[in-house]
Structure 1
Amino acid sequence: MCSRWCISRSTTWSSTTRTSSRACGWGATSIRCCGRFGSGRMVRRSPALPASSARPHHEPQPPIPGSDREMLKLLAARIVGLAPLLLIVSFLTFLMLHLVPGDIRDIILGVDATPEQYEELGEKLGLDDPFVVQYGRWLFKAVQGDLGTSAYNSQTVVDAVLDTLPVTLSLTFGGMLVGIVIGVPAGVYAGLHRGGLVDRVAVLAATVGQALPNFWVAIILVIPFALWWQLLPATGFTPPTESVTEWLRSIALASVALGTSASAALARQTRGAVIDVLGTDYIRTARAKGLSERTVTFRHALKNAAVPIVTTIGFQVNGLLGGALIVEQVFGLNGFGSLAIDSVRTQNIPIMQGVVMMGTLVIVGVNIAVDIAYGYVNPRMRPA
């Protein structure tokens, strides 16, 4: 009977079994009796792992590509690429406006205008010059920051755009804030509880929300909150420089009306992204390691699901800029959309040209912001 057992590793010849270790480092593990009844007696011999695998070897992780300097280079490249884009947009816009039937002189002077008045106004506005001359003259001034003057008054195009753009931007980003606050949490919760009652209700609400027109939602909101209860103003806009509280009250209803469709789209996209991420191998590995569900959700799942969510936010901001054109009419706001509609109705070509150019700048700026956000949400998407 053995009273004590010992485990030893040998890489030399064994006197009992005549087996040897391999030259590449393989050894053998022996279990023998070390007690008084069997000291030194070999009981069992089993092959051991290579010495190189006895201790796990961790490969160094590749460094995260890109840096803040690379992000600045990306931003500079986007800004440089903006110049040819604006040139193409300005040319196409000028060409289409030049081909529009009708003459602005008929609107300004009326039907009772004399030929001399026609000729004088055409010479003043340069309407009788060839298309290339008109575009070249406009482009030369635009490079210097002069987009022209309104055809009906002495107000410059830049002043007209800057007076109305804050209204539209306030509504757009207010609606986007409503969409993020409602849509992202709803999508996350629905994705975490896929197939449950909350998930089904969220999917149904998102489907209905995307189907409702923004202007219809705006009318429904005005009736109770502005007409019946008089909690919020139905029309008018207060700049934030005058009063932040009144500014929030003046854009509240319009922001909710715009944010309805945005929250629905974000909820659907967030739900799908969360479901896709939760089915990946690294999420199963994180759960197998014993990490809490909160850690798995917020540190792993949402971090990797954020990229499609950021993409959806960028698309929705561009869509809300267009939706604000109609919502401004419902609430009587003198915004960028109202300026665009009035310029089209009156054939105010300088204003129309300025509206298109400024709208292009805003949309490109949003896309650049989305590209930069990619690098911070997922550092591996930064430029190498």
Structure 2
Amino acid sequence: MITLIARRLAGLIITLLLVSALIFAVMDFLPGDPASVILGTSASADTLAALRQDMGLDQPLVLRYAAWLGGVLQGDLGQSYTYGVPVAGLIAERLAVTIPLAFIAVLLSIVIAIPLGVQAARHQNGLMDVVAGLFSHVSIAVPAFWVGLLLIILFSTVLGWMPAGGFPGWGSGFWAAFQALLLPAVALALPQAGVLTRVTRSAVLEVMNEDFVRTARSKGLSENTALWRHAVPNALIPVVTMLGLQFTFLIAGAVLVENVFNLPGVGRLAFQALAQRDVVVMQDVVLFFAALVIVMNFLVDLAYLIIDPRLRAGVR
């Protein structure tokens, strides 16, 4: 098992290095000149050349990549062209919004989808199955940002129960910050809950037809006990896989939702950096998203070994 984990870690490191090189190369070939964005189109050629030299943009691509990667490995993500502050501080500040938002959305997705998917499997072709199918189709088809706009109209404009946007900060109290994140979390959670409901239903249906579940029923266990004690735990592997993917999707999907709700998160930071041609911020944010996906896949692989003893038995 230790050998397997070591191999996965080595693969994770190699993948991160390859992804970082790809990100740097793609960002370098994007149209536009950061020096021109900072100084404006009326700047003289000499001034632009001096700024490019000061920013290191006159160096070869390989040297610039090596310098950037070396800084990243030391925790130095560079200096933002637009804000003039360290990018690490910018991202850390925005993560205080995006990470709680994603966690709340994942929890809402789990609370909605797993009970609904399990009941749909238990009552296959019944009313609950129809309701679950309808919910899945509608929630997957509707974009998260559009759901966010509807939630703002209903709960903020019409009912006045929730704030329409903005984030007061965690220093204003947990409840005020939670209220600001609740509607965007619902907007992010509903499409993911639709996908998770389908995955849960399919996984539970497959396990319910296994011999060990039928044996449990034949020994006198109630339908509920056989379902929750035997079927659901053995159906968790595809569900855990989807949850791991969903967390990364939610982080990336926050770009639009954070802009709809005017939240100062990582997604909004990425959008602003793109509009301002702040290449350093864009590189670091995209690398963060990519690293999050890779690390979450690694954690999901480890979760398989914890959930399924059969996998542990096959690992040396």
Q: Secondary structure at the match of 2:235?
A: helix
* CA–CA separation in structure 2 for the residues paired with 1:240 and 1:376: 35
Name the structure where helix makes up a greater proportion of residues: 2
* CA–CA separation in structure 1 for the residues paired with 2:115 and 2:89: 40
Structure 1 residues 153 and 208: CA distance shift in structure 2, 3 A? closer
Structure 1 residues 75 and 238: CA distance shift in structure 2, 3 A? farther
Larger radius of gyration: 1
Q: Note if 1:274 corresponds to 2:204.
A: yes
Q: Which residue of 2 aligns with 1:247?
A: 177
Q: Which residue of 1 aligns with 2:135?
A: 205
The offset of 1:75, in angstroms, is: 5.1
The offset of 1:81, in angstroms, is: 3.4
Q: Note if 1:318 corresponds to 2:248.
A: yes
Match of 1:145 among 75, 80, 105: 75
1:46-93: CA deviation from partner (whole Å, max 9, x where unpaired): xxxxxxxxxxxxxxxxxxxx6xxx4xx655554443322222112111
Aligned counterparts, 1:1-384, within 5 A: 70=2, 77-240=7-170, 242-382=172-312, 383-384=315-316
* CA–CA separation in structure 2 for the residues paired with 1:158 and 1:82: 22
Q: Secondary structure at the match of 1:117?
A: helix
Q: Secondary structure at the match of 1:154?
A: coil
Q: Secondary structure at the match of 2:139?
A: helix
RMSD of aligned Cα (Å): 1.8
Q: Secondary structure at the match of 1:266?
A: helix
The offset of 1:215, in angstroms, is: 0.6
Once structures 1 and 2 are overlaid, which stretch shifts more, 185-194 or 123-132? 123-132
Q: Which amino acid aligns with 2:197?
A: A
Length-normalised TM-score, structure 1: 0.78
Structure 2 portions without partners, runs of 5+: none
Structure 1 portions without partners, runs of 5+: 1-65
1:193-232: CA deviation from partner (whole Å, max 9, x where unpaired): 1111221121112111111110111011111211122211
Name the structure where strand makes up a greater proportion of residues: 1
Name the % identity: 39
The offset of 1:376, in angstroms, is: 2.5
Q: Which residue of 2 aligns with 1:53?
A: none
Length-normalised TM-score, structure 2: 0.93
Count of aligned pairs between the two proteins: 314
Higher RCO structure, 1 or 2 (CA under 8 Å, sep 6+): 2
The offset of 1:116, in angstroms, is: 2.2
